Amino acid sequence: MLTKGTKFWLALCLAAMVAAAFAGYTTGGDETGPLTLGWKGAVGNHIVYGTLMMMSAATGLLAMLASAFRDADADAVAQLLETEDAPDAQIKTGPSVWPVIGAAGFAVMMLGLVLHPAVFVAGLLIVVAMGIEWTMTNWSEKLTGDPVRNREMRENLLRPIEIPLLSLVGIGVLVLAVSRILLASSVNGAVIVATVVGVGIFALAFFVSTRPTLPRALLQGVLALGFVAIIVGGIVAAANGEREFHQKGGTSNDTLVETDH
């Protein structure tokens, strides 16, 4: 008998597979290409088709895992351990922010398919980071019956890895977003934007350094809002396109001159 989790992931698997076939036929695929993963014909838009098929494969794997572990049902675990009493249920956990971040990452990926490949890559990095963090958070919540101890064990394992890695990814995404904003601004506007952002970061850092007792949640919220604001600005700027650059001169040493538009 299929568990509820297995049915859920199987439904998503089939839905993604049907969506991939539909996308293939409506974006230039032939009769057999979308049904054979491109082995016997064209699949249309490769990015859309490939993304949906990867989603189908991932949810299919999750369906198999849910079926194999029986949705971590206590009675199934007791039967497996050959005991009469079911083990204690999992401790209660609080809400998680990772689904929200994952949804935002998928939204950025979909926008990137229309706007710019760099936006798609940024969304993909957000989704990958979310998947790793959410998986490890779920793992740590099942270690012991003490939430504080579980959180400490997770931080001891992941902090040496996630801080430098997420910092590099975050810096790369921010640099990419800011570059889109500056290239979409006018010549003088780019100078103003860079100055305002730089002064704002310096002022915020000075303010935080003079008030070490500020709540950690407040600082995290401010940083998250600033990060999201820059990402949204980069997406909007990428949609508007770069300002025009015109060539000046007629020799082999031509130079590019920026123009205000």
The span from the CA of 46 to the CA of 29, in Å, is 10
Q: Does the pLDDT value for residue 248 go beyond 80?
A: no
Kindly state the tokens that stand for 50: 């490939």
The span from the CA of 43 to the CA of 35, in Å, is 8
Structural domain boundaries in the chain: 1-89, 97-245
Kindly state the tokens that stand for 107: 């939204």
pLDDT tier at 73, thresholds 50, 70, 90? low
Q: Does the pLDDT value for residue 187 go beyond 70?
A: yes
Which of 144-148, 197-201, 214-218 comes out lowest in average pLDDT? 144-148
Burial of 4 (0-12, 13-18, 19+ CB in 10 A): exposed
Residues 6+ apart with CB under 8 A from 193: 181, 182, 185
Do residues 87 and 77 touch, judged by C-beta distance below 8 A? yes
Bridge partners (DSSP) listed for residue 255:
248
Q: Which of 97-106, 145-154, 237-246, 250-259 has the highest mean pLDDT?
A: 97-106
pLDDT tier at 84, thresholds 50, 70, 90? low
Spatial CA neighbour of 139 closest among 75, 93, 106: 93
Cα–Cα distances (Å) from 131 to 20, 50, 135, in that order, read 22, 19, 6
Residues 6+ apart with CB under 8 A from 38: 49
Spatial CA neighbour of 72 closest among 141, 3, 146: 3
Residue whose token pair is 């990926």? 109
At residue 69, φ and ψ (nearest 5 deg) are -95, 5
pTM beyond cutoff 0.85: no
Residue whose token pair is 């007792």? 213
Q: Does the pLDDT value for residue 137 go beyond 60?
A: yes
Q: Does the pLDDT value for residue 101 go beyond 80?
A: yes
Kindly state the tokens that stand for 207: 């303010």
The span from the CA of 161 to the CA of 167, in Å, is 10
Average pLDDT over all residues of the chain: 79
Render pLDDT for 171-184 as a digit per residue (tens, 0 to 9): 877 887 888 888 88
Q: Does the pLDDT value for residue 14 go beyond 90?
A: yes
Cα–Cα distances (Å) from 199 to 170, 177, 193, 212, in that order, read 20, 18, 10, 21
